[in-house]
A = this chain, B = another copy of it.
Amino acid sequence: MSQDFSFTVHATDGTARKGEIFTPRGTIRTPAFMPVGTAATVKAMFPQDVRATGADILLGNVYHLMLRPGAERIARLGGLHDFMRWPFPILTDSGGFQVMSLAKLRKLDESGVTFQSHIDGSKHHLSPERSMEIQHLLGSDIQMQFDECVRLPCSDDEAERAMRLSLRWAERSRKAFRQQPGRAVFGIVQGGASKPLRIESAKALAGMDFHGLAVGGLAVGEPQEVMLDMLETTLPHLPASKPRYLMGVGTPDDIVQAVARGVDMFDCVMPTRAGRHGLAYTPFGKVNLKNARYAEDLSPLDADSTCPAARDYSRAYLHHLVKAGEILGMMLLTQANLAYYQSLMAGLRAAIGDGRLTDFIAETRAQWAAGEAASRPQ
């Protein structure tokens, strides 16, 4: 068996692709959704239950893990996989995004970013070289270049400056990754909401020796149309032979639309965060379990689900748990949401394989729109 990281496209349907990423720790079926395991745990989930929802890979965060418990400590403890009891593939975010969104007193220059921890105010420095070193210490299977992500809307000048800095950091990140058999490093397209900048970034990164390419700096406040426009502009300039990862996206509809345009990988806190706040994603759209209409509703979230949380517990019970602030409510809704996201990905993969993605998307969106009435026997 080859121990090399590889990507194979098995089927296409329009611009959408169905494939497999091989890593020594396991095969990732694409299009893939990666649950977010920020601080070495997918919040409120046992690792075996994350696996049971259908996840082939999850995401860890350099920013959170470097601050607590620390990358060197995790390395001494045998690496992130053993530490959190997840023996399957892990992709790590390089920390650039969280430094911008969470850290205090940031100071950015060509070398990298100096910042204060949001936890205890301690001072830290991240550079392309240090981010890659941390990802190596964690033992990450797919490592991301260190980049600068700007919030939208921003001026084209600002987007251009950050994009060019990210390209220089891409070269340094790629060099710092060196050769790690079985592991991969991905570059990240930036360029704000500017088509010329996105194209320039994509072309430059396509010319570097990355194992995959990500699109960053989207789903950061812009309308869905802008995001899809940027994808349509960017993806044709990325090599078809490499996996394409849309970072931090998104709602089920964002994912469906992006898959249709050729994206292979996604991550988002939405299913897990929503689950901790009483919101369920289902084939019948979103269900807000705080709503009093569910107080005596004996139906489950989704009677046809293979997920126990979605199939076996009444909405009345989930409503009670959410109203009472019970941890079990968060556990069940997180599990149900991750299971729904994974079943959506499975549906997308099957539809691409069968050449009926357009129909699948239309049916899926119609079911969301029909709402929960569609979930009840008539």
List A residues at the B interface (Cβ < 8 Å).
39-41, 43-46, 68-69, 73, 76-78, 83-85, 295-296, 298, 312-314, 316-317, 319-321, 323-324, 326-328, 330-331
Contact = CB atoms under 8 A, between A and B. Distances in A.
B68 A320 contact: yes
Given A46-B328, A295-B69, A330-B327, A77 B316 contact: yes
Counting every copy of the chain, the complex holds 2
Contacts of A83: 314, 316-317, 320
A85 B327 contact: no
Nearest to A43: B327
Contact of A40 (B68, B73, B317): B317
B44 A320 contact: no
Nearest to A327: B44
Nearest to A49: B46
* 3 shortest interchain CB distances as A-B pairs: A44-B327, A41-B328, A69-B320
A298 B77 CA distance: 7
A326 B39 contact: yes
Contacts of A319: 69
A330 B41 CA distance: 12
B323 A68 contact: yes
A298 B78 contact: yes
Contacts of A84: 317
A311 to B, nearest CB: 11
A329 to B, nearest CB: 8
Nearest to A326: B41
A83 B328 CA distance: 13
B77 A331 contact: no
A43 B326 contact: yes
B298 A41 contact: no
